[in-house]
Amino acid sequence: MNAPTDRSLPATSRWRTLASYAAMLAATGGIYLWIRSRGEQLRAPVAAPATLSDGHGHTGELAQLLLALAAITLLARLLGGVFRRYLRQPPVIGEIVAGLVLGPSVLGLLWPQAHAFLLPESVAPSLGVISKIGVVLFMFLVGLELDPKLLRGNTHSTIAVPHASIVVPFLLGATLALWIYPRYSNASVGFTAFSLFIGVSLSITAFPVLARILRDRRAQKTRLGATALACAAVDDVSAWTLLALVVGIATAKMSGAMWTVAYVALYVVGMLFVIRPLLQRFFVRREQQREGPLTHSALAFVFVALLASAVATEAIGIHALFGAFLLGAILPHEGRLASELRGKIEDVVLVLFLPSFFAFTGLRTSIGLLESSRDWLFCGLIVAVAIAGKFGGSLVAARLAGMGWRHSAALGILMNTRGLMELIVLNLGLDLGVISPTVFTMMVFMALVTTFMASPLLDLLLGRRGFEDPPTGASAVVVGPG
């Protein structure tokens, strides 16, 4: 879909916008450096030694894993349908809830024997590998669905809103880290990596969930829908780029972080100026030959490129999912082959792999870790800060850009959705050891609340038909759950 544009802006206005943007970035950097100087003086508790729990036996591990996958897939489909039909929520929310239900927070608490039978600890490593492969494939699909045209909008709203919805929650999250770090982190994690990760994790918008909400309301062709899609696209590209930098800092010493940045820059340049032209020529040649459906050889070629890109970013130290995302983003998005490629990969990823990721997330989420009133107070504080930063920053920026109050608020609600994308970020932080299981549980709760609240608030604010009439010539963007 083409984002709304404003080519008639005078040169002085464009230079003023660029100057304001540069000043905003400089101010953000200065404020964060002040927060960092305060945080580096804090000391977190010493990490408790890890303990290995006993498994439930090693007999029939394959059969146990297959049984777990069957149960996960069935419950995800059932709850996804319930949430879509009766609660008018995107099915992905029901699938996320299904994963949490199968974990220790619900099934393990209410029926420990069933939890031990369906998801014993012995299947967790295998389930973790399957879920990570699923996330890599899903991020490839997200990149493949991300229409580059959405990134070229130059109206005030598509410039101001996404950057405000990153800068404001980032700074609020980094500030919140001043209180969370000495209470819920440990001495092996530096404040810089912790605060950067908390800031970025509060800045994420789930572009696929936002697109799904708009599609369900048939609002993706409206002016507000187009603006929301453009803002979310810019937001996600910016936030994921920043997250790659944070992961590089977290996995390397500060002295080696610049080398990581340099390697990332070389990788991106190579992908854009070497790999992208080769892939475009390959796709154009296949389109011109009109040899029928996408062949197994062509599909294997794409998978090899996907895996090679994922391996490259994993070797650099910024995680394989970034390589998968970038390869999807640089592939040609138009034409028969791109559509067939999505169709061949999407079904198995959405039906089998992603529910496995939700279940794996559920196994790592334990509400029992929030034992005291202080824990729940901080959990509520994280939710409040996340909403204030994302919703408030987007609303104010949209209003200053000239949008009305109701549509500015609606845009803020849409930008505040986090969904699966947030869970991917949180699992990454837990894998790296940047956040503790307790903070992970708090942030998962925040992701659920901010995603679940979107549809009811949009109904209350605009109703099911409260979006603007579609502009002439707009086209839809269809994205899977996220």
What pLDDT, on a 0 to 100 scale, did the predictor assign at position 471?
Answer: 43
206 to each of 98, 113, 164, 344, how far by Cα in Å?
19, 35, 16, 23
Instruction: Enter the tokens of residue 100.
Output: 């949490």
Mean pLDDT of 164-169: 92
pLDDT of 303 reads 93
Mean pLDDT of 254-262: 68
Distance between CA atoms of 402 and 156, rounded to whole angstroms? 8
Where along the chain do its domains lie?
64-118+126-462
When pLDDT is averaged across residues 313-319 and rounded to a whole number, the result is: 84
Q: Which residue has the higher pLDDT, 307 or 227?
A: 307
Taking only the tens place, the pLDDT of each residue in 420-470 is 889 999 999 999 899 999 999 999 999 999 999 998 999 888 876 566 544
The b/e string for 137-169 (b: 16+ C-beta within 10 A; e otherwise) is bbbbbbbbbbbebbbebebbbbbbbbbbbbbbb
pLDDT at 297: 85
pTM of the predicted structure, to 2 decimals: 0.84
The CB density around residue 209, as the number of other CB atoms within 10 Å, is: 27
- Report the pLDDT value the prediction gives residue 231, as an integer from 0 to 100: 87
- pLDDT tens, residue by residue, 56-83: 444 478 899 999 999 999 999 999 999 9
The yes-or-no verdict on residue 482 having pLDDT over 70 is: no
Q: Which CATH architecture has domain 64-118+126-462?
A: Up-down Bundle (1.20)
